[in-house]
């Protein structure tokens, strides 16, 4: 059997060990035109992945100063792209101007920023990037997750996350993603920080009486909807109403809002980290139809939601139709008198607000980020014991010219001799012959020969899986399987042909260290 290399694993006990850290990259931007919603949901996902031991790197072309500060405080690596702005030419993408360069140039710069390793996942959250960019990144990452919520372009991705609510959610991506793409649709996958799920267990059901209002229109709010909502509240002139106004540090009207809040007796919160508490304390929220919609629903906070951007209109319309929020889908042309009327009706909602609170809480349970993390950190390969029924295709793989070329014995194999070898191997108590599967389809072979406290490993991928960067993942997860198998093995050893540079490189990129003709990797302590 083919032996691509030598892995040495030292162990002081026989307990299962955690899997080698996954490497996950994020391509996302934040700016005045783009806003911060895309970045914040990616940061939430990155934080949760890091807790589980993943190594994360952000790649950005456009950022705001506090975005970079946030990444530094959270311990995430950041690489800023150096793409020259240029003529984008005609593009079918409505948000192509967000990029400021071509997808081809951005992809090349991103590949350079991630060229030091093969990444388990590349997460892309950008309306200006589509299938063209994703296909160009296939040699950089084993799998690609696209985060989308407008369904206006084609994708070349392995999974797609759209956390928004739509009445026709199941049909929106038909024909826009590859066959077999895993779709994670709807607010049950909303990427909420853990503070919202924790606060959810302590918040009380709303009575419908409004004493405290929360205004929040996103981290940027370039059109100053915050100011318009403040003016609408002043026009209504409710008595004994407490108002919390939340804005980002880079809000274009920050000075005016802060001074007006002081004059009117409102409380202004700039770049707050207490949003969950503010939502829990409020009886009504007034805001935009962005990611904060799911935070409000999670905490049962009734909301007047305004679609303040074209990409929010459809979602707000469907939420209103389904009875989850009050609101208007396309608020861009809304005159101030109509906004005042909407605010007045919301403040007097009473029983309607109680119903919105209950329905919103049912829609969003706060566990979305855990669901997505489990998907991203799930083993790429699953292992099962080989059987005699596997003999025909085992022979066809082992005898394939590309696999024979890297084996110790490169001569073609006799089918009868190979079948006899399989039978002996399956009966041998000192051998484990495993089939590595991807999505229940055989994708590789792993053999462990037990020699005292050593296990000699031999692995190869199916011919269809060669040259796709999967070797390091098969090696990593095969070692993880052995750690949890309960066998008295202290280390794994694999011999490598000196000229088999592809296998040597795979092991080195997986973290193995050369020791003459042996490559070794120390197991982490639990």
Least confident of 38-47, 115-124, 463-472, 479-488: 463-472
User: What CA–CA distances, in Å, run from 36 to 126, 249, 387?
Assistant: 12, 11, 53
- Is the backbone of residue 516 left (phi > 0), alpha (psi -120 to 50) or beta? left
The encoded tokens of residue 301 equal: 């906070």
Residue 5's pLDDT band (boundaries 50, 70, 90)? very low
* pLDDT (0 to 100) of residue 372: 96
Pick left, alpha or beta for residue 339 (phi over 0 → left; psi -120 to 50 → alpha; otherwise beta).
alpha
Q: What is the DSSP letter of 389?
A: G
pLDDT at residue 194 greater than cutoff 60: yes
Token pair 């309607």 in the structure block, residue: 352
Radius of gyration of the chain from its Cα atoms, rounded to whole angstroms: 28
- Taking the C-alpha atoms of residue 473 and residue 31, their distance in angstroms, rounded to an integer, is 36
Give backbone dihedrals phi and psi of 452, rounded to 5 degrees, phi first: 65, -125
Q: Alpha-carbon distance 118 to 54, whole Å?
A: 14
Question: Is the per-residue pLDDT at 447 higher than 50?
Answer: yes
- Highest mean pLDDT, choosing among 9-18, 330-339, 457-466: 330-339
Greatest Cα-to-Cα distance within the chain, rounded to the nearest angstrom:
91
The pLDDT assigned to 10 comes to: 33
Query: Tens digits of per-residue pLDDT, 123-144?
Result: 999 999 999 999 999 989 988 9
Tokens 């999974």 label which residue? Answer: 159
Q: Is the pLDDT of residue 3 over 90?
A: no
Round to whole Å and give the CA distance between 39 and 35. 8
> Per-residue pLDDT averaged across 60-65, rounded?
93
**What are the angstrom distances between the C-alpha of 167 and each of 189, 316, 319, 355?**
16, 11, 8, 19
| Lowest mean pLDDT across 56-60, 186-190, 206-210, 410-414 | 410-414
Could you tell me if 102 and 88 are in contact, meaning their C-beta atoms sit under 8 angstroms apart?
yes
22 — pLDDT class (breaks 50, 70, 90): confident
- Residue 401: is its pLDDT beyond 60? yes
In contact, 459 and 444? CB cutoff 8 Å? yes
Distance (Å, whole) CA 399 – CA 80: 46
Percent of the chain at pLDDT above 70? 90
The total number of residues written for the chain in this structure: 526
How far is C-alpha 119 from the chain's CA centre? 13
80-87: list long-range contacts, CB under 8 Å, 24+ apart: 81/106, 81/109, 81/110, 81/113, 82/109, 83/109
How does the average pLDDT of the chain come out, rounded?
88
Tokens found for residue 35 = 């806003």
Contact call for residues 100 and 84 (beta carbons, < 8 A): no
- pLDDT bin (cut points 50, 70, 90) of residue 8 is very low
Question: 36-45, 179-188, 354-363, 465-474: which has the minimum mean pLDDT?
Answer: 465-474
- At residue 491 the predicted structure's pLDDT band, cuts being 50, 70 and 90, is confident
Contact at 8 Å (CB) between 360 and 297?
A: yes
Residue 14: predicted pLDDT: 30
The residues with which 25 forms a beta bridge, in sequence order, are 57, 122
* CA atoms of 239 and 35, how far apart (whole Å): 34
Give me the pLDDT at residue 112, please: 96
| 377 three-class SS | helix
The pLDDT, as a whole number, for residue 11 is: 30
Rounded-to-integer distance, Cα 119 and Cα 143, Å: 8
Half-sphere exposure of 392 (CA within 13 A, CB side): 1
Tokens of 284: 């009504």
User: What's the pLDDT at 510?
Assistant: 56
Nearest to 310 by CA among 231, 184, 223, 186: 223
Strands (E), 71-140: 77-80, 119-125
Write the pLDDT tens digit of every residue in 226-242: 999 999 999 997 778 99
Alpha-carbon distance of 288 to 291, in angstroms, equals 9
Does the pLDDT value for residue 479 go beyond 60? yes
| Helix (H/G/I), strand (E/B), else coil: 310 | helix
Q: How far apart are CA 425 and CA 40, in angstroms?
A: 52
Look-up of token digits 């008295």: 488
Report all structural domains of the chain as residue ranges with CATH numbers, in order of start.
23-185 (3.40.50.11190), 196-365 (3.40.50.2000), 382-520 (3.40.630.30)
| 420-457: burial string, b at 16+ Cβ within 10 Å, e else | ebbeebbeeeebbbbbbebeeebbbbbbbbbeeebbbb
**Alpha carbons 146 and 440: distance in angstroms, whole number:** 23
Provide the 3-class DSSP secondary structure of residue 119: strand
Q: Any residues with CB less than 8 A from the CB of 451 and at least 6 apart, and which?
A: 430
What DSSP string describes 265-276? T-EEEES-S-HH
> Both tokens of residue 329?
């889908």
**In this structure, are residues 9 and 475 in contact, taking their beta carbons and an 8 Å threshold?**
no
Residue 476 has a pLDDT of 79
The model's pLDDT over 384-397, given as tens digits with 9 standing for 90+, comes to 999 999 999 899 99
**Closest to 27 in 3D by CA, of 150, 153, 112, 93:** 112
- CA nearest to 315, candidates 301, 337, 297, 333: 297
Give, as one character, the DSSP assignment of residue 94. T
What is this structure's pTM?
0.73
Q: Return the structure tokens found at 49.
A: 């992945």
For the cut 90, the answer to whether the pLDDT of residue 30 exceeds it is: yes
Average confidence (pLDDT) over 470-476: 80
pLDDT in tens, 299-335: 999 999 999 988 899 999 999 999 999 999 999 889 9
Q: What is the per-residue pLDDT across 404-417, written as a single tens digit (0 to 9) for each?
A: 887 777 788 899 99
End-to-end Cα distance, the chain: 33
């Amino acid at each position: 059997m083919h032996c691509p290399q030598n892995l040495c694993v030292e162990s002081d006990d026989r307990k299962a060990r955690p899997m080698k850290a996954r490497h996950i990259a994020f391509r996302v931007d934040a700016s005045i035109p783009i806003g911060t919603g895309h970045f914040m949901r990616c940061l939430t996902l990155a934080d949760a992945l890091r807790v589980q031991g993943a190594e994360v790197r952000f790649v950005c072309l456009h950022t705001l100063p506090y975005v970079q500060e946030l990444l530094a405080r959270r311990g995430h690596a950041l690489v800023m792209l150096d793409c020259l702005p240029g003529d984008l030419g005609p593009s079918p993408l409505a948000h192509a101007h967000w990029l400021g360069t071509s997808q081809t140039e951005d992809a090349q710069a991103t590949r350079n920023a991630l060229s030091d390793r093969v990444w388990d996942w590349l997460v892309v959250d950008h309306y200006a990037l589509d299938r063209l960019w994703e296909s160009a990144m296939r040699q950089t990452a084993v799998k690609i997750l696209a985060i989308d919520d407008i369904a206006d372009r084609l994708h070349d991705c392995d999974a797609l996350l759209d956390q928004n609510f739509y009445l026709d959610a199941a049909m929106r991506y038909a024909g826009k993603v590859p066959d077999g793409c895993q779709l994670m649709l709807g607010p049950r996958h909303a990427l909420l920080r853990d503070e919202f799920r924790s606060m959810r267990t302590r918040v009380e059901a709303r009575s419908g009486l409004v004493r405290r209002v929360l205004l929040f229109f996103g981290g940027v709010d370039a059109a100053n909807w915050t100011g318009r909502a403040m003016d609408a509240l002043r026009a209504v002139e409710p008595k004994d109403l407490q108002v919390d106004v939340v804005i980002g540090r880079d809000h274009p009207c920050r000075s005016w809002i802060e001074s007006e809040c002081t004059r009117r007796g409102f409380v202004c919160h700039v770049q707050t980290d207490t949003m969950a508490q503010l939502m829990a304390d409020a009886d009504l929220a007034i805001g935009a139809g962005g990611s904060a919609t799911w935070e409000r629903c999670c905490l049962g906070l009734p909301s007047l939601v305004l679609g303040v951007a074209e990409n929010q209109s459809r979602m707000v319309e469907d939420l209103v139709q389904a009875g989850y929020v009050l609101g208007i889908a396309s608020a861009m042309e809304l005159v101030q008198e109509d906004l005042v009327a909407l605010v007045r009706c919301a403040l007097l909602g009473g029983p309607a607000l109680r119903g919105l609170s209950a329905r919103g809480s049912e829609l969003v349970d706060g566990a979305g980020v855990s669901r997505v993390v489990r998907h991203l950190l799930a083993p790429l390969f699953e292992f099962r014991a080989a059987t005699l029924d596997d003999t025909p295709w085992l022979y066809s793989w082992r005898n394939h010219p590309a696999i024979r070329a890297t084996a110790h014995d490169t001569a073609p194999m006799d089918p009868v001799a190979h079948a006899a070898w399989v039978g002996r191997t399956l009966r041998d108590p000192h051998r484990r012959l495993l089939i590595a599967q991807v999505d229940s389809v055989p994708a590789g072979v792993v053999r462990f020969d037990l020699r005292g406290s050593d296990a000699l490993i031999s692995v190869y991928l199916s011919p269809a899986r060669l040259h796709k960067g999967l070797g390091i993942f098969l090696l990593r997860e095969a070692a993880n399987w052995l750690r949890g198998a309960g066998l008295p093995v202290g280390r794994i050893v694999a011999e490598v042909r000196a000229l088999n540079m592809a296998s040597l490189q795979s092991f080195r990129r997986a973290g193995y260290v050369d020791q003459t003709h042996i490559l070794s990797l120390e197991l982490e302590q639990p």
